[in-house]
A and B are shown apart, each in its own frame.
Chain A
Amino acid sequence: MKPLTEKQLNEIRQIVQTGRVLTSESDRFSYAYDASFGTYLPDVVIQTKDVQELAELVKFANRELIPVYPRGQSTSLSGGPLPVKGGMVIDLSVMNDLLEIDEEDLVAIVSPGVLTADIHKAAEKKGLMYPPDPSSSHVSTIGGNLAENSGGPRGLKYGVTKDYVIGLEVITPQGEIIRTGGRTVKNVTGYDLTKLIVGSEGTLGIITKAILRLIPKPPASETVMAIFDSLVDAGRAISRILTSGILPAKMELLDQASMVAVENYQPSGLPKDAEALILIELDGHPIAVRDEAEQVFRVCREIGAREVRVPQTKEEKEQAWKARKLVSPAIVRVKPTKISEDATVPRSKIPEMCRRLQEIKKKYNIDLVVFGHIGDGNLHPNIIADKSDKEEMRRVEKAVAEIFEAAVELGGTLSGEHGIGVMKAPFMEMELGAAGLEMMKRIKQAWDPNNIMNPGKIFPEPGQKLVLSE
């Protein structure tokens, strides 16, 4: 792309009357990254709360063929907001004024810059719950969550972001403002554009408002923690729990490498010689969750867990979940670069996926730990490396490709919740097939004929390969 001309920048300044137009070197570099890989310098960064101004900007960009990159707070792990072709970054985190809870309609109406955790808090104040809870919810914006269709540990019982969106306001790539869906749970009028936009990673438009479904907040929760000498037994325990009529809110797994990393970082009493730790949270009516916790306890015992704990106090519960929280910081102490994948497989294939991951780890001699939302098959194989070691990074590239292949072969998917972005684009055809990918391209073409909206994402460029060794 050609850099923007001074004339174009002036026109942008004309359009953005109420916000900021940032062009200094320090500002542009500050919007050149996300939580994944690479630095891509935008020509200009725009902040405005005014939807009309944004629509005008998009019209202008569409006319002048300037790439537009919508962005929340850039916690993306797949490159979603990266301005890979320069152009303009639109910082929607400033659009954070609207957060309205309607108790009667059981909905939240929000602007895209509102932090997900603030929606949680506002809903809880009224005894309600917005279930999707990505681990970064205290930093991530709801706009980013919508664009990427974020998940989180509660996916098993409550589903993901798209399951809670019933209406949107969107600026199309031609600069029109459209509304999809509405405030009703039931709505079958025409194509479901709401679901199409959610998870489209900012390639079909800019979300400027959303109507989210809320549910009553479960009054009680219980935690069960179980340690297994064998990973296979842990997998069996999970299957047994889920087939015995219990649907936990969360089921998290830590493998041996994660436990060793946590113990070396901050000793928390985890056994370094055990193969798996599972953490289960049950929520619902207090009497029901008590009973379910006891059942889960019994199942884990019967299958042969080395140790099962049901923490009683709030502090003990927090302590149990702390081990899970410590995994991420613990593993980066080993080496600085973390490649966090989210390949997801059908639940029944989890033991097989774990086995394959161990093979890949040995084959490429890489530091690989596995943890994540085992209840919904969304594992997080994390590779720990040092990006200054080019030779190691090339091994990592091969290992990542093989992880994707394994997931797809087992009937799973490239991405459970992080999105495709830049990094996974080269693998799209492997999962979707040529015709499937082509259908998606045609949708993109119909929405955005000039390809100005978040170009360079989802769809691979000819010959594009995964590159981690910059």
Chain B
Amino acid sequence: MNEPFTSLREELRYEKTNRCVQCGYCLPACPTFLTMGKETHSPRGRINLVKMAAEGKIQDLSALEEPLDLCLGCRACETVCPTGVEYGVILESARAALARRKKYTVAKKAMRSFLFKKVFPSRKAMNLLGNAMWLYEKSGAQKLARKSGLLKNMPAHLGEFEAVLPQTVSPAERSRLPRFTPAQGEKKYTVAFFVGCVMDAMFHKINQLSIQLLAQVGCDVIVVENQTCCGALHAHAGEVEDSKQLAKRNIEAFERHDVDFIVNNAGGCGAMLIEYDHLLADEPQWAERARQFAQKTRDISQVLVLCGGVQGKAGRAERVTYQRSCHMTNVQKVTREPLQLIQSLPNVELVEMEEANMCCGSAGIYNLVQYDASMEILDHKMKHVKDTEATTVITTNPGCLLQMKLGIEREKLGDRMRAVHLVEYLAERAGIAEPQPQPVASQS
């Protein structure tokens, strides 16, 4: 290494690794420790590796690569840590330090740059992706591809993911997300709705329903112009500068409106938004603005509860279970509200699964880039899901939603179980949305 020793120490946030007293309390909470069964893939192990690199005991940083790559970033370890180690900060700093030194192959570099700089941050690109998916689905290409067995031979197991992709909406409909939706009845709050990139492109319907639900409980809903991707995927991949740029663009866009809350419906995005203050803490012109933005950030479940909840209609009796979003639990610390909303619905019985706080293995794009590790975690999760004998699995984040759909496919439970976003479920139960086709077995 030809750079000054102290700079690497600072880059790796050595002072934060020293907070870890190596008690091991994080081990049982860590999904990768559980499935991979070695200390190297535990929070304590990873923190130690970063510490050893910072102390110069590990000279070749590539020793850190695999352990850090295989971390889901679910941050369940932070919730159980008795000494308050900021694992998320250590992980992202170390990943950034590695990314800075990493010599990616030309192709991989181009791919990273394309994804992080062009696709996620661009409404246009994500729109295009959404449109392409719609076209693919509607044109019959999907049918053809599924029939021909072409999908099975696709790289990175994309074929399996294709099977669980949501029903898309047409480009025309997507452009119609209303700029302003007035509150029904007495107005309680004015909220700005954060549409997100993946949510908007792939789960547009959930965004539409979110706005309708918010309006129904008494919120004026503004869809702010010029908002962009939250930057979470960038930060997790060590591209911190990019996520800072995106954060600034969002802060600028949302500052133009005087609102009570900035509302999102994706656990992962919400976790990023609520940490903008940490992200921009070192930039004097932005720190205060970021703090205000973070303070106003809420998950949709919080606002719905604050407005008195969603009035469910007495529908079909059903047993459901709730798969938590890790980032909603461990970063946003939003845990009660989704449960409250579900439990308030008539004829709905909520059965919690074992190890409910354990990650499902989705974790941003982890299930794409670390497919095998992710599937092992998912299979572990599905055992507990199955045991609940629920017919609907409720989630609060797009990644988790896709992953649970995939889990249901893998377990061949498609005839008696489905996965939905909390918003979809509430809308369905409130009579706003058409119920999605029920699995066959539960209709009888």
CB < 8 Å: which of A31, A94, A333, A387 contacts B84?
Answer: A333
Q: Give the shortest distance, in Å, between A212 (CB) and chain B (any CB).
A: 21
Q: Give the shortest distance, in Å, between B54 (CB) and chain A (any CB).
A: 12
Residue A35 CB within 8 A of the other chain: yes
> Which residues on B sit within 8 Å (CB–CB) of A35?
21-24
Residue A397 CB within 8 A of the other chain: no
The number of chain A residues with a CB under 8 A from chain B is 35
Q: Which of A1-55 contact B (CB under 8 A)?
A: 20, 22, 24-27, 29-35, 39, 45, 47
Given A26-B63, A333-B84, A336-B18, residue A136 in contact with residue B49 (CB < 8 A):
no
Asked whether B24 lies within 8 Å of A75 as measured between CB atoms, the reply is: yes
Q: Give the shortest distance, in Å, between B382 (CB) and chain A (any CB).
A: 21
Q: Give the shortest distance, in Å, between B311 (CB) and chain A (any CB).
A: 30
Q: Which of B203-245 contact A (CB under 8 A)?
A: none
Q: Which of B77-133 contact A (CB under 8 A)?
A: 82-84
Asked whether A73 lies within 8 Å of B58 as measured between CB atoms, the reply is: no
Distance, CA A328 to CA B84, complexed state (A): 11
Asked whether A39 lies within 8 Å of B27 as measured between CB atoms, the reply is: no
Distance, CA A140 to CA B24, complexed state (A): 8
Q: Which of B183-202 contact A (CB under 8 A)?
A: none
Asked whether A47 lies within 8 Å of B22 as measured between CB atoms, the reply is: no
Asked whether B83 lies within 8 Å of A332 as measured between CB atoms, the reply is: yes
The number of chain B residues with a CB under 8 A from chain A is 28
Q: Give the shortest distance, in Å, between A128 (CB) and chain B (any CB).
A: 22
Distance, CA A131 to CA B284, complexed state (A): 56
Asked whether A30 lies within 8 Å of B25 as measured between CB atoms, the reply is: no
Residue B257 CB within 8 A of the other chain: no
> Which residues on B sit within 8 Å (CB–CB) of A204?
none
CB < 8 Å: which of A20, A27, A34, A328 contacts B82?
Answer: A328
Distance, CA A30 to CA B39, complexed state (A): 6
Q: Give the shortest distance, in Å, between B87 (CB) and chain A (any CB).
A: 15
> Which residues on A sit within 8 Å (CB–CB) of B40?
22, 26-27, 30
Asked whether B48 lies within 8 Å of A139 as measured between CB atoms, the reply is: no
Q: Which of B10-44 contact A (CB under 8 A)?
A: 18-19, 21-25, 27-28, 37-40, 42
Q: Which of A436-458 contact B (CB under 8 A)?
A: none
Asked whether A75 lies within 8 Å of B23 as measured between CB atoms, the reply is: yes
Given A139-B28, A329-B84, residue A29 in contact with residue B21 (CB < 8 A):
no
Residue A174 CB within 8 A of the other chain: no
> Which residues on A sit within 8 Å (CB–CB) of B66?
26
Distance, CA A388 to CA B14, complexed state (A): 12
Q: Which of B308-365 contact A (CB under 8 A)?
A: none
Distance, CA A32 to CA B66, complexed state (A): 18
CB < 8 Å: which of A20, A24, A25, A136 contacts B23?
Answer: A136
Distance, CA A338 to CA B22, complexed state (A): 11
* Minimum CB distance partner of A27 in chain B: B40
CB < 8 Å: which of B21, B28, B58 contacts A25?
Answer: B58
Q: Which of A113-162 contact B (CB under 8 A)?
A: 115, 136, 138-140
Asked whether B28 lies within 8 Å of A74 as measured between CB atoms, the reply is: no
Asked whether B38 lies within 8 Å of A328 as measured between CB atoms, the reply is: no
Distance, CA A35 to CA B66, complexed state (A): 24
> Which residues on A sit within 8 Å (CB–CB) of B258?
none
Q: Give the shortest distance, in Å, between A47 (CB) and chain B (any CB).
A: 7
Given A27-B38, A30-B49, residue A136 in contact with residue B24 (CB < 8 A):
yes
Q: Give the shortest distance, in Å, between A26 (CB) and chain B (any CB).
A: 4
CB < 8 Å: which of A29, A45, A328 contacts B83?
Answer: A328
Distance, CA A338 to CA B84, complexed state (A): 14
Asked whether A29 lies within 8 Å of B63 as measured between CB atoms, the reply is: yes
Asked whether B38 lies within 8 Å of A136 as measured between CB atoms, the reply is: no
| Interface-central residue, A20, A24, A32, A336, by most chain B CB under 10 Å | A336
CB < 8 Å: which of A24, A32, A94 contacts B63?
Answer: A24
Asked whether B60 lies within 8 Å of A25 as measured between CB atoms, the reply is: yes
Q: Give the shortest distance, in Å, between A31 (CB) and chain B (any CB).
A: 6
Distance, CA A182 to CA B353, complexed state (A): 38
Residue B159 CB within 8 A of the other chain: no
Hey, what's the 0/1 contact readout for A298-335 against B, CB within 8 Å counting as 1? 00000000000000000000000000000011001100
Given A29-B52, A75-B24, A332-B83, residue A39 in contact with residue B57 (CB < 8 A):
yes
> Which residues on B sit within 8 Å (CB–CB) of A75?
23-24
Residue B439 CB within 8 A of the other chain: no
Asked whether A138 lies within 8 Å of B63 as measured between CB atoms, the reply is: no
Given A47-B37, A94-B37, residue A73 in contact with residue B24 (CB < 8 A):
yes
Asked whether B23 lies within 8 Å of A115 as measured between CB atoms, the reply is: no
Q: Give the shortest distance, in Å, between B357 (CB) and chain A (any CB).
A: 13
Asked whether A73 lies within 8 Å of B27 as measured between CB atoms, the reply is: yes
Q: Give the shortest distance, in Å, between B269 (CB) and chain A (any CB).
A: 29
Residue B45 CB within 8 A of the other chain: yes
> Which residues on A sit within 8 Å (CB–CB) of B37?
47, 94
CB < 8 Å: which of B25, B39, B45 contacts A139?
Answer: B25
Q: Give the shortest distance, in Å, between A279 (CB) and chain B (any CB).
A: 18
Asked whether A30 lies within 8 Å of B60 as measured between CB atoms, the reply is: no
Distance, CA A446 to CA B58, complexed state (A): 39
| Interface-central residue, B27, B67, B84, by most chain A CB under 10 Å | B27
Distance, CA A74 to CA B24, complexed state (A): 7
Residue B259 CB within 8 A of the other chain: no
> Which residues on A sit within 8 Å (CB–CB) of B19?
332, 336
Q: Give the shortest distance, in Å, between B150 (CB) and chain A (any CB).
A: 37
Distance, CA A328 to CA B48, complexed state (A): 20
> Which residues on A sit within 8 Å (CB–CB) of B25?
136, 138-139
Asked whether B38 lies within 8 Å of A139 as measured between CB atoms, the reply is: no
Q: Give the shortest distance, in Å, between A371 (CB) and chain B (any CB).
A: 14
Hey, what's the 0/1 contact readout for B287-319 against A, CB within 8 Å counting as 1? 000000000000000000000000000000000
Q: Give the shortest distance, in Å, between B375 (CB) and chain A (any CB).
A: 20
Q: Give the shortest distance, in Å, between B2 (CB) and chain A (any CB).
A: 21
Residue B64 CB within 8 A of the other chain: yes
Q: Which residues of A contact B (CB under 8 A)?
A: 20, 22, 24-27, 29-35, 39, 45, 47, 73-75, 91, 94, 115, 136, 138-140, 328-329, 332-333, 336-338, 387-388
By Cβ-Cβ distance, the 4 closest A-B pairs, closest first, are A30-B39, A30-B45, A30-B40, A329-B82
A-B contact pairs, 15 of them (CB 8 A): A25-B58, A26-B66, A30-B40, A39-B57, A47-B38, A73-B24, A75-B24, A91-B39, A94-B37, A329-B83, A329-B84, A332-B19, A336-B18, A387-B18, A388-B18
